[in-house]
Amino acid sequence: MVGSLSLAKGWFLLSLMVLSFGYGFAAHAWDLFPKTYVVTAANQAGRQAAGVLWEPAAEEYTEPRVYDRAGARTADADAVQPGLTLVVSAWAWDGESMRPGARLLDRHGRTMHEWAPDRQAIFGGTALKGGNPATAKFHGAHLQPNGDLLLALSYIGLVRLDACGAVEWTLEEGAHHSVTAGAGETVWVSGVSDERRSTTERHPNGLPGLDRSVWMDRLLHVSADGDILNDINVLDVLYANGLERYLRMAYARGAFTNDNGDPTHLNDVEPLSASMADEYPTFEAGDLVVSLKHPNLVLVLDPDTREVKWHADSGPDDRYHLLQQHDPDFMGDGWIGVFDNQEDFTDRGAMLGGSRLLAFQPHTDSVAVLFPPLQSDTVYTKNRGKWQPLDNGNYLLTESNAGRVLEVTPAGRTVWEWIHEPQSETQVPFITSADRYDLTRAEVASWPCSSLDVASASASPDRTSRAAD
């Protein structure tokens, strides 16, 4: 009898364990009680730890090392686009622990100028999207000709620094990812709401089918003085143009869960310049090309009417399919180039062949793979990543997670590369952005607080020649 009772108790306890596990799984999958409370408590504890107990560590800025070399290499100096390359990454400044900043490099990898801002001193205790200035990374950047630098501290804000590193102004509107030049000295910036929300001004009763609070991505047009000229809610744009169906892609990635709430993941916004507008028959100067990572969506919209004029849709073959893309750029002749990450959850993108550069020509409904061409070296970065069309026809590619920037010809030949110095034998700092600017050493030497000597920069052929830099 005693044995029977013990066996019964055992089966009862086992049944409770199975039921508890089953309900726990269901609670997580379908947002049942008490998931919200558990997640909230965990997030709060994490933010407390980040704000009070967290100390920056080098590994926070690194990814597994891919290449066994470092520094700059020039394979064909005559084929390299002249100028200097602005790299946003992390370095050990003056022997201190590693932290993010920006450096302007010549083609030899030498530092022409640098900005190493103190994030906490600039933004204080601001915390947006669970972010903390002490731990956030600098991401998008834009350099003005006079040495002023605009930097986005991810999900915290935008700061304008002069060439000496002094703060001219800040904009605490959750700036993240991209900072792109607009008309005059204005910029377009990826922004986000200051807290999770389920309603917008255009949808005061909530967005249909969106029954939980999420981070609201915003397209921000910012003046030279740091004032907001235009503020466009991304979800409003999707719903107003019948594109909410693309949010199902975000559902597949768990982007609507209570511990994420990031359905669109805006990572770039860029205006069509007046000088290039005639090359785009279906668009107007000032129209915006926008990249939304989680829905795998790139679109072009009128910032005044909020009308979507075009979006990249799935065509008849795999060339049309974007997968976790970044950085769409107007590249001329009606084409829009996109850095297509092709994250496939394999080592170095083995399944899909790595990342690629896709180009769309909306007015002809054409698509082309610009990189890699056949028999070319490949690149892969599962997240981040950038590209830039250069005036000489080459492409500047940022293989972010590998800590590598490379310039390639349309035929796929690498003519220049720079790889970050590794942090250890196995880790290398990742690069959040890299852009080539039409600057010479002599011009940089004329900036306030420049470490370069104007006279020597002007005297040396290597320093005055754009081909050399």
| CA distance linking residue 177 with residue 122, whole number of Å | 18
**pLDDT on residue 32:** 43
Cα separations (Å) of 113 from 8, 12, 89, 108, 469?
A: 75, 70, 14, 14, 14
**pLDDT on residue 46:** 39
Would you call the peptide bond into 316 cis, given omega within 30 degrees of 0 as the criterion? Answer: no
**pLDDT on residue 76:** 97
**pLDDT on residue 344:** 81
**pLDDT on residue 19:** 54
Gyration radius of the chain's alpha carbons: 24
What domains, with CATH codes, occur in the chain? 37-464 (2.130.10.10)
How far does the chain reach from its first CA to its final CA, in angstroms? 90
**pLDDT on residue 42:** 41
pTM here? 0.85
**pLDDT on residue 359:** 97
Q: Given the DSSP bridges, would you call strands 138-143 and 356-361 parallel, antiparallel or unpaired?
A: unpaired
Tell me the HSE value of 90 on the side-chain side, using a 13 A CA sphere: 27
**pLDDT on residue 454:** 59
Q: Please, which residues have CB within 8 angstroms of residue 278's CB and are 6 or more apart in sequence?
A: none
Q: Which residue has the tokens 């600039």?
A: 122
Which residue stretches of the chain have pLDDT < 50? Answer: 1-2, 5, 14, 18, 21, 23-59, 459-469
| CA distance linking residue 292 with residue 326, whole number of Å | 8
**pLDDT on residue 468:** 36
| CA distance linking residue 271 with residue 188, whole number of Å | 8
CA nearest neighbour of 174 among 234, 137, 230, 131: 131
Q: What are the E-state strand segments in 166-293?
A: 167-171, 176-181, 187-192, 217-222, 228-233, 266-271, 288-292
DSSP 56: -
| CA distance linking residue 359 with residue 370, whole number of Å | 7
